[in-house]
Chain A
Amino acid sequence: MRVLLGMSGGVDSSVAAAVLRDDGHEVVGVTMRLWGGESDSGCCSVADVDDARRAAQQLGVDHLVFNFSDEFDERVVAPYVEDHRRGRTPNPCIECNRHLKFDRLLDRATALGFDAVATGHHARIVERDGRRWVGRGADHAKDQSYVVHMLDQDALARTVFPIGHLTKDQVRAEAARLGLRTATKPDSQDVCFITSTGGRETFLGDRIPFRRAKVVDPEGVELGELPAVELVTVGQRRGLHLLDGAPRRRYVIDVDHGAAVVTVGPESELMTLEQSVTDLVWADTPVDGPVLVQCSAHGRTSLAELGDGVVRWAEPQRRVSAGQSLVFYDLADERVLGGGLAG
């Protein structure tokens, strides 16, 4: 196959190039330039492009750079800012996968005559009876099936995850054996367009006006103030600066974004039996009935009944803040069936 491999400059995609090459595929590596602004981490700094190119060179693989910064601004950064302005908590890495890697890049790969796009995600493609699903990576601690849950049959047929069968330790050992300079590079953890010095607060503060929020308990008793309602998330426990200094743990249980009022309370108030889901996507046909649901990148799954855009939990679960992704797995906890955004 002719495979266009997205190379971030990290160890996983470097080793993915070697795996594809050794499997006899014709591989071209590409680093997507996504964020043109200030950055100190993530996937598109010049240093990361250098690392990706050097790994490709060492493996005898051609390397390109595609400039998708306009689309990234439009499809990832602008919605990220707008979601916060509206009081939602988006996951920009998922939106980048949805709109850039498995849409824009996939389309370009097809236009240029490639049979598939590959990435270094810790996930697998599971095939049964001619249908395909995203499966969990062999390294469950590093599994990234959650962030690539949006692939449909068309995309799954043209996607390869070359290192999904390896553990992270095996990937690093292989990189070291090949002498790749990415072998000991730390995993990227953060949103690529947010700097560690400024953080989310500075990034958003430069782009939207913050509104002060009143913090109250469920009875409406004022407990303090927060500088920006836009930065508050349901389920948040830290950084609430409550005035009464009560020792018990309290969480944000509700955010009235319009009135800029944040309600805090005990964890019990956060629990719910139902969670609405919007923007549903499916690997194959839409699914009703029992599924396992995962609500964060490396969170545990919980049993629920799915139907009519509502997740009905078997046991009460913490409410998920609007904009976060819920991903549905089969009952064996192996395959991604679909996903959506918390409403």
Chain B
Amino acid sequence: MRAEAFEAMVPHLRDEFANPSGSHAPARRARLALDEARDVIAECLGADAGEIVATSGGTESDTSALVGALSRHARTSGVPALAVCPAAEHHAVREVVEANDGIVVPVTSTGAVDLDALAEALTTHGDRVAVVSVMAVNNELGTVTELAEVAATVRRCAPGALLHTDAVQAAMWLDLRSVTAHVDLLSLSAHKFGGPKGVGVLWIRRGVAIDPLVRGGGQERDRRSGTQNVAGVVGAATALRLTDEDRPTIVASLTVLRDRLLDGLIACGAIETVPRSVRVAGNAHVCFPGLESEELLYLLDRDGVSASAASACASGAIEASHVLRAIAVSEELRRGALRLTLGHTTTAADVDHALAVVAGAVARLRDHRARQAS
């Protein structure tokens, strides 16, 4: 977490603890902090403060957007509503779409939505489509979606549908003003840009109406009830402002480091899962043919390199990646998937250390396989 975000939160966790909905002086101070934070978030999104809804995280934002749009559409049109998403979406979107009998459309080999397939699905189901959800940046591969093209397809084929984007992985890398320009609904998660866990944002374009997922006291303009997490929203706003300011510098420097990391991994025998040209700067997803992710991850972790392969299930086991399956990566490559990511604190020394550890781990595992085979 960004130190400034932490510092900004502390007073609201300790002394300024009032409920921002109250009318007394401490409550008004809490309200002030919340309103100021909302202004900061809105500014970073190129949006109005009234369009910002604070939530408990990216998953709640995604669910609220999809379920809220489905509910509203069904209620006002009188026909069952459909949600549509690409196959490589995060579980937070895909599970909601599938649970509501929605439509999952294929992606291309880079993980981007197949626009022809999307157009066909939207044309087929037309007015029944309440919401289309397409992530701005893929969480496993780092692939950036051309949202302008997606938006044009949605407007052309299903003009009554809302377009939502899960931008949880985008905040670090893309100017969010260029994202909100194309969509109606957008989800963020604070801990992905240096803020606290348990805080999210749902941006709802002015004039767009969805039903609330969480009902109650009517906070957040009746769009998300529950006493606001003032400290969390303040921390999120502080982190987002810093991210917005640093972004051009960080993207430039991390692109250099990421390329160095990728080149080093390729020298160890890895295959770049999708071309780096379509990915954000912080992502170095590769596959090691003939190796197993779980073994690599253990050896890396033992030597202080924290990496991942795909999402973990409730038991903590690494699940087979639905994203790699969606982009038709072979079974052998999928087994050897490794996702290394870089952030604003990553240094050249970190990259070199990671490469040395990976090289050692790969050599050890290849050696073992060779001995087993002989």
* Chain A contacts to B: CB under 8 angstroms: 31, 33, 44-46, 49, 53, 64-67, 69-70, 107-108, 110-113
List CB contacts (< 8 Å) of B296-340 with chain A: 298-299, 313-320
- By Cβ-Cβ distance, the 7 closest A-B pairs, closest first, are A33-B317, A67-B317, A65-B316, A111-B368, A49-B315, A65-B317, A46-B314
* Alpha-carbon distance A110/B298, docked complex (angstroms): 13
Point out the residues of chain A lying under 8 angstroms from B316, CB to CB: 31, 49, 53, 65
28 examples of A-B residue contacts, CB within 8 angstroms: A31-B315, A31-B316, A33-B313, A33-B317, A45-B315, A46-B314, A49-B315, A49-B317, A53-B316, A64-B298, A65-B316, A65-B318, A66-B317, A67-B294, A67-B318, A67-B319, A67-B320, A107-B372, A108-B294, A110-B368, A111-B295, A111-B364, A111-B365, A111-B368, A112-B295, A112-B298, A112-B299, A113-B364
CB distance from B352 to the nearest CB of A (A): 23
- Please state if B315 and A44 are interface contacts (CB–CB under 8 Å): yes
List CB contacts (< 8 Å) of B276-294 with chain A: 292, 294
CB distance from B63 to the nearest CB of A (A): 21
Point out the residues of chain B lying under 8 angstroms from A45, CB to CB: 315
- Please state if A66 and B294 are interface contacts (CB–CB under 8 Å): yes
- Please state if B295 and A108 are interface contacts (CB–CB under 8 Å): yes
Point out the residues of chain A lying under 8 angstroms from B318, CB to CB: 65, 67
CB distance from A38 to the nearest CB of B (A): 14
* Alpha-carbon distance A113/B302, docked complex (angstroms): 11
Point out the residues of chain A lying under 8 angstroms from B313, CB to CB: 33
Known contacts A67-B294, A112-B295; decide if A46 and B364 are in contact (CB<8 Å): no
Determine the residue in chain A with the shortest Cβ distance to B291: A111
Q: Mark B351-374, 1 if CB is under 8 A from A, else 0.
A: 000000000000011001100100
* Chain B contacts to A: CB under 8 angstroms: 292, 294-295, 298-299, 313-320, 364-365, 368-369, 372
Determine the residue in chain B with the shortest Cβ distance to A33: B317
* Alpha-carbon distance A53/B298, docked complex (angstroms): 16
- Please state if B315 and A65 are interface contacts (CB–CB under 8 Å): yes
Determine the residue in chain A with the shortest Cβ distance to B367: A111
- Of B298, B315, B316, chain A has the most CB atoms within 10 Å of the CB of B315
- Please state if A46 and B315 are interface contacts (CB–CB under 8 Å): yes
Point out the residues of chain B lying under 8 angstroms from A110, CB to CB: 368
New contact pairs (11) apart from A64-B298, A67-B320, A112-B298, CB-CB < 8 Å: A31-B316, A33-B313, A46-B315, A65-B318, A66-B317, A67-B294, A107-B372, A108-B294, A111-B368, A111-B369, A113-B364
CB distance from B307 to the nearest CB of A (A): 14
* Alpha-carbon distance A53/B314, docked complex (angstroms): 13
- Please state if A33 and B315 are interface contacts (CB–CB under 8 Å): yes
Determine the residue in chain A with the shortest Cβ distance to B312: A65
Point out the residues of chain B lying under 8 angstroms from A33, CB to CB: 313, 315, 317
Determine the residue in chain B with the shortest Cβ distance to A107: B372
CB distance from B328 to the nearest CB of A (A): 18
Point out the residues of chain A lying under 8 angstroms from B368, CB to CB: 110-111
Point out the residues of chain A lying under 8 angstroms from B372, CB to CB: 107
* Alpha-carbon distance A70/B292, docked complex (angstroms): 13
- Of B314, B316, B364, B369, chain A has the most CB atoms within 10 Å of the CB of B316
Point out the residues of chain A lying under 8 angstroms from B295, CB to CB: 108, 111-112
- Of A53, A65, A66, A67, chain B has the most CB atoms within 10 Å of the CB of A67
* Alpha-carbon distance A66/B295, docked complex (angstroms): 9
* Alpha-carbon distance A157/B245, docked complex (angstroms): 60
CB distance from B158 to the nearest CB of A (A): 35
CB distance from A2 to the nearest CB of B (A): 11
Point out the residues of chain A lying under 8 angstroms from B317, CB to CB: 33, 49, 65-67, 69
* Alpha-carbon distance A337/B309, docked complex (angstroms): 42
* Alpha-carbon distance A173/B90, docked complex (angstroms): 46
CB distance from B24 to the nearest CB of A (A): 43
Point out the residues of chain B lying under 8 angstroms from A49, CB to CB: 315-317
Point out the residues of chain A lying under 8 angstroms from B298, CB to CB: 64, 112
- Of A49, A69, A112, chain B has the most CB atoms within 10 Å of the CB of A112
CB distance from B359 to the nearest CB of A (A): 16
* Alpha-carbon distance A70/B364, docked complex (angstroms): 24
Point out the residues of chain B lying under 8 angstroms from A64, CB to CB: 298
Point out the residues of chain A lying under 8 angstroms from B315, CB to CB: 31, 33, 44-46, 49, 65
* Alpha-carbon distance A271/B316, docked complex (angstroms): 49
Point out the residues of chain B lying under 8 angstroms from A53, CB to CB: 316
Determine the residue in chain A with the shortest Cβ distance to B299: A112
Determine the residue in chain A with the shortest Cβ distance to B310: A67
Determine the residue in chain B with the shortest Cβ distance to A50: B315
* Alpha-carbon distance A33/B317, docked complex (angstroms): 7
* Alpha-carbon distance A53/B368, docked complex (angstroms): 28
CB distance from B339 to the nearest CB of A (A): 16
Point out the residues of chain A lying under 8 angstroms from B292, CB to CB: 108
Point out the residues of chain B lying under 8 angstroms from A111, CB to CB: 295, 364-365, 368-369
CB distance from B325 to the nearest CB of A (A): 13
Point out the residues of chain A lying under 8 angstroms from B320, CB to CB: 67, 70
* Alpha-carbon distance A147/B313, docked complex (angstroms): 30
Point out the residues of chain A lying under 8 angstroms from B364, CB to CB: 111, 113
Determine the residue in chain B with the shortest Cβ distance to A111: B368
* Alpha-carbon distance A112/B292, docked complex (angstroms): 11
CB distance from A317 to the nearest CB of B (A): 40
CB distance from A55 to the nearest CB of B (A): 14
* Alpha-carbon distance A70/B318, docked complex (angstroms): 12
Point out the residues of chain B lying under 8 angstroms from A66, CB to CB: 294, 317
Point out the residues of chain B lying under 8 angstroms from A108, CB to CB: 292, 294-295
Determine the residue in chain A with the shortest Cβ distance to B335: A70
CB distance from A41 to the nearest CB of B (A): 15
Point out the residues of chain B lying under 8 angstroms from A44, CB to CB: 315
* Alpha-carbon distance A292/B295, docked complex (angstroms): 41
Determine the residue in chain B with the shortest Cβ distance to A47: B315
Point out the residues of chain B lying under 8 angstroms from A65, CB to CB: 315-318
* Alpha-carbon distance A82/B50, docked complex (angstroms): 61
Determine the residue in chain A with the shortest Cβ distance to B371: A110
* Alpha-carbon distance A44/B364, docked complex (angstroms): 29
Point out the residues of chain B lying under 8 angstroms from A113, CB to CB: 364
Point out the residues of chain B lying under 8 angstroms from A70, CB to CB: 320
* Alpha-carbon distance A53/B316, docked complex (angstroms): 10
Determine the residue in chain A with the shortest Cβ distance to B292: A108
* Alpha-carbon distance A49/B312, docked complex (angstroms): 13
CB distance from B335 to the nearest CB of A (A): 9
CB distance from B221 to the nearest CB of A (A): 38
Point out the residues of chain A lying under 8 angstroms from B369, CB to CB: 111
* Alpha-carbon distance A320/B319, docked complex (angstroms): 40
* Alpha-carbon distance A44/B294, docked complex (angstroms): 17
